Amino acid sequence: MVESILSGDTPVFVDGVGKSIVISTRGWEQRSVAESTTEAVVRGPKEAFVETLRVNTSMLRRRIKNPNFVIESLKIGKYTKTDVAVAYIKDVAKDEVVEEVKKRLTKIDIDGIIDSGYLEEMIEDNPFSPFPQIEHSERPDKIAAELLEGRVAIISDGSPEVLVVPTIFVQFFQSAEDYYERYYISTLFRFLRLAAMLMSLTLPSIYVAAVTYHQEMIPSPLAISIAAQREGVPFTTLMEAFLMEFFFEILREAGIRLPMQVGQAVSIVGALVIGQAAVQAGLVSAATVIVVAITGIASFSIPAFNIAITFRLLRFAMLIVGGTLGFFGIIMALMMILAHLASLESFGVPYLSPLAPSNTRELNDVFIRIPWWAKILRPHKVAGRNVKRQNYTRG
Amino acid sequence: MKKVLILFVVLSLFLTGCWDKREINELAFVQGIGMDIDKDKMCNITVQVLKPANLATSSGGGGGGAAAGKPYEVYSSRGVDFAKAFSNFNTELSRTLFLQHNEIIFIGENLARSGIYSMLDFVTRNPEFRRTSYLVVVSGGTIDDLMKLSKSVEKYPYREILGMIQNQKNTSSAYVCDINHFVETLETEEVQPIVGRLEIVKKDGKPQHARFVGAAAFKYDKMVGLLTEQETKGIMWMDNLIKNTSLVVDKGPKGDKTHISFTIIKANSSITPKVNGEDVSFDVKINFDSNMIEENSKYNLTDLKMIKGLEDLQQEKVKSEVLDALNAVQKKYKVDSVGFGQKLQEKYPKVWAKLKDRWDEIYPNVKVNVSVKATLKRSGLTSKPIEPR
């Protein structure tokens, strides 16, 4: 009773009756539905989730008009009593996953949930891994599509980011737009992002390793050109690359925090200082600036911000390993990362599936995207018994 | 305690490098290394070391295309063996010599004549040398002459020579041999190695430029003689190495004196050994297609007889090249550079086993029958020549 009053409902007591009627009279100022800012697309729906749970669920309900689409409510947080909804399609989602999600959510004992990020950290499988194991999105179309694949969405009141489980690694490289654009183009973009991911992880370390240990692997004219640029540079290549990466991260961080107008000033100063003055003053070589710049741009082309920052973090580790142990160290580090990825799981689904354990039939939506009329099956590790999506027909 | 240790390890990564770490700007890029032997049997090594700062078109601090100095420097060193000569460089260079970007090894004529085994051992034992480096015998001058060539479109002579060699690989007018190939033929008893030859052209006693033509015939690791361009081509015809080359005949189909140029577009050849008791002979068959690129006698190429005549001329010319080559390697130098022994061994291993000890005596007198078949494919854009009236 107290809770419903605190939530804005109106209880009606009738004299002589032991029970009361609670009328939902909740109402508050809320942000109106606006365009997605973090996951913008060229083609596709533009609207994004807002901070109000019921608005969000209504957006999903509007997309999936089926009685099997279930939204279950929970309250989490001793003080905040935050409404959390678990949404899934009953005959598509795996029962075990739904049970597991509810079990983990009810086990949470925390004073308050302010954002879905709290929930993510409380329920993910490996809390020590640098890799995110739960995907989040503010796009209702994306969440609806994932529900249709048999995933379970966790919506938290007060947060426009909706969590989806189980999550696999390749999901972070897929943009909602992939499914709206022509499939050839989407396939090309996926390869592009894969290349960008590898570059963002390894490019500076490969550059440093090649320049300090494996000069014979650089084509002669390029090697001579790099040597000429490094003439008179006071730092070692490792130090140089590390410093540039460091400054780049500072600039990026500053750019995010500042208001738009000042942010531009920062980027101008940064580009001038890092790009030109440092090279002209002979503090760093032009090649290093180019490598750091390409790496920075590559890391921005990964659609999911949470995995992009993971790679950014690992990039520094790779840089140090590459600068001290050369290619040997890079390969060792990559193998360790790969082993770690292979060991991860998200709600019972191996993180690297369908690559490892491999399932060749599901590779049609990993690096490439097959057209919708050929996409007959749901991912079988994710979906329950109801694996078949549609018949092989076209209109 | 543990934290201090971790901090120590992390800091040590930045303070110094790893033991085999070399910054790219602390290396002396060697492009072009020449080895020779002098009168006192001392080994000489000459290296062309690049100066990257002078070489780069626009360097960071420079801020413009001010005329930089010579982009390379030549150093020589002497020692009882090549390893000693090489280590002597340390006494006069501020940077460590870096050989991995070197793709040509020049061999002085003296060294070639006295045997290159010791050089080959040094070069193949040291992991810094590329096994795919080209071996080139320098004739008509010393290695010092070569390093100081003045005429060059490239920025330094090495680039010029590398370009020449790579060009010749396509036009096949000189023999291109790398370390791997040399070692392979040296270790094969049925064939003797040939190495490409770089001829220094002098003007008024000063080295002007170099030409990559012809070859040097080796018997085991010792050079026995130089082959001319014509003779080298003959060997390449037999060894099926001709890909794309030009052919000039100096008479017309009716015996008139003129010049007609052709370009070979496709060629293949085969050597077939024939055994008759103790008597060994070889059939060399060469087929090629060619295009006509220049003539100045207004031949009407719509006439089939004319085409036949031109084909016969080319056959004659190629045959003469092959015979020249045979004359040089078989009669003059008496080395089996073409690999007749290998062909015999492949087809009649038993006969070879019997003959191989006496092959040096038999080979110079072995009969080789050469037959050439030419096909004229196209005559360029002209079928009827331009007729001034």
Measure in Å the smallest separation between the Cα of A125 and chain B Cα atoms: 28
pLDDT for the residue numbered B306: 86
Cβ neighbors of A241 (< 8 A, separation 6 or more) are A204, A207, A208, A288, A291, A292, A319, A323
Closest-approach residue (CA) in chain A for B25 = A227
3-state secondary structure B42-89: CEEEEEEEECHHHHCCCCCCCCCCCCCCCCEEEEEEEECCHHHHHHHH
pLDDT, mean of residues A274-294: 87
| DSSP structure class, residue B283 | E
pLDDT for the residue numbered B62: 42
> Is B24 close to A227, i.e. CB distance below 8 A?
yes
- In chain B, residues with a C-beta closer than 8 Å to the C-beta of A291 are none
Closest-approach residue (CA) in chain A for B72 = A224
CATH superfamily of this structure's domain B229-389: Nutrient germinant receptor protein C, domain 3 (3.30.300.210)
For testing the chain B interface, which of A207, A220, A225 should be mutated: the one with the most B CBs within 10 Å?
A220
Answer with the residue of higher pLDDT: B265 or A275: B265
Reduce the DSSP state of residue A313 to 3 states and report it. Answer: helix
Q: Across the interface, which of B13, B20, B50 has its CB nearest the CB of A320? A: B13
Measure in Å the smallest separation between the Cα of B2 and chain A Cα atoms: 20
pLDDT, mean of residues A165-193: 92
Residue B287's beta-bridge partner residues?
B268, B373
- In chain B, residues with a C-beta closer than 8 Å to the C-beta of A235 are none
Contact at 8 Å (CB) between A244 and A274? yes
Closest-approach residue (CA) in chain B for A282 = B61
> Is B60 close to A324, i.e. CB distance below 8 A?
no
pLDDT tens per residue, range A42-87: 899 999 999 999 999 999 999 999 999 999 999 999 999 899 999 9
Contact at 8 Å (CB) between B137 and B107? yes
Q: Which two tokens stand for residue B199?
A: 């001829």
pTM: 0.85
> Is A224 close to B17, i.e. CB distance below 8 A?
no
pLDDT for the residue numbered B18: 58
Residue B17: pLDDT band by 50, 70, 90 thresholds?
low
pLDDT, mean of residues B361-380: 90
pLDDT, mean of residues B224-231: 90
Percent of residues, chain A, with pLDDT higher than 90: 54
> Is A323 close to B13, i.e. CB distance below 8 A?
yes
Confidence check: pLDDT of A102 > 70? yes
Quote the CA–CA distance of B232 and B139 in Å, as a whole number.
Answer: 15
For testing the chain A interface, which of B25, B48, B94 should be mutated: the one with the most A CBs within 10 Å?
B25
Indicate the range of A61-65, A129-133, A255-259, B90-94 predicted with least confidence: A255-259
pLDDT tens per residue, range B117-176: 999 999 999 988 999 999 999 988 888 888 877 777 777 888 888 888 888 877 777 888
pLDDT, mean of residues A252-274: 78
pLDDT for the residue numbered B15: 57
Residue B280's beta-bridge partner residues?
B275
Closest-approach residue (CA) in chain B for A208 = B23
pLDDT, mean of residues A164-177: 91
Measure in Å the smallest separation between the Cα of A329 and chain B Cα atoms: 12
Quote the CA–CA distance of B291 and B200 in Å, as a whole number.
Answer: 32
pLDDT, mean of residues B324-340: 91
Confidence check: pLDDT of B4 > 70? yes
Confidence check: pLDDT of B46 > 70? yes
For testing the chain B interface, which of A207, A208, A212 should be mutated: the one with the most B CBs within 10 Å?
A212
Measure in Å the smallest separation between the Cα of B275 and chain A Cα atoms: 50
pLDDT for the residue numbered A263: 74
- In chain A, residues with a C-beta closer than 8 Å to the C-beta of B27 are 215, 227
CA atoms within 13 A on the CB side of B194: 30
Helix (H) or strand (E) holding A10: strand A10-13
Percent of residues, chain A, with pLDDT higher than 70: 100
A243-253 as b/e, with b when 16 or more CB fall inside 10 Å?
bbbebbeebbe
Quote the CA–CA distance of B347 and A362 in Å, as a whole number.
Answer: 55
pLDDT for the residue numbered A315: 94
Please return the burial class of B102, using the count of CB atoms within 10 Å of its CB with bins 0-12, 13-18 and 19+. buried
pLDDT for the residue numbered A39: 87
> Is A228 close to B56, i.e. CB distance below 8 A?
yes
Confidence check: pLDDT of A361 > 70? yes
Quote the CA–CA distance of B353 and B346 in Å, as a whole number.
Answer: 11
Q: Show which residues on chain B lie within 8 Å of chain A, measured between beta carbons.
A: 13-14, 17-18, 20-25, 27, 29, 31, 50, 52-53, 55-56, 59-61, 63, 98, 100-101, 103
pLDDT, mean of residues A219-226: 90
Confidence check: pLDDT of B13 > 80? no
pLDDT tens per residue, range B161-220: 888 888 887 777 788 899 999 999 999 888 899 999 998 888 887 888 888 888 999 998
ipTM above 0.90, yes or no: no
pLDDT for the residue numbered B14: 59
Confidence check: pLDDT of B60 > 60? no
Domain ranges of chain B: 24-54+69-227, 229-389
Task: Write out the DSSP string of A120-154.
Answer: HHHH-S-TT-SS--SEEES-HHHHHHHHHTT-EEE
Instruction: Report how far apart the first and last C-alpha atoms of chain A are (Å, whole number).
Output: 53
Q: Across the interface, which of A230, A232, A286 has its CB nearest the CB of B24? A: A230
Indicate the range of A87-91, A380-384, B12-16, B330-334 predicted with least confidence: B12-16
Confidence check: pLDDT of A119 > 90? yes
Measure in Å the smallest separation between the Cα of B379 and chain A Cα atoms: 40
pLDDT for the residue numbered A159: 93
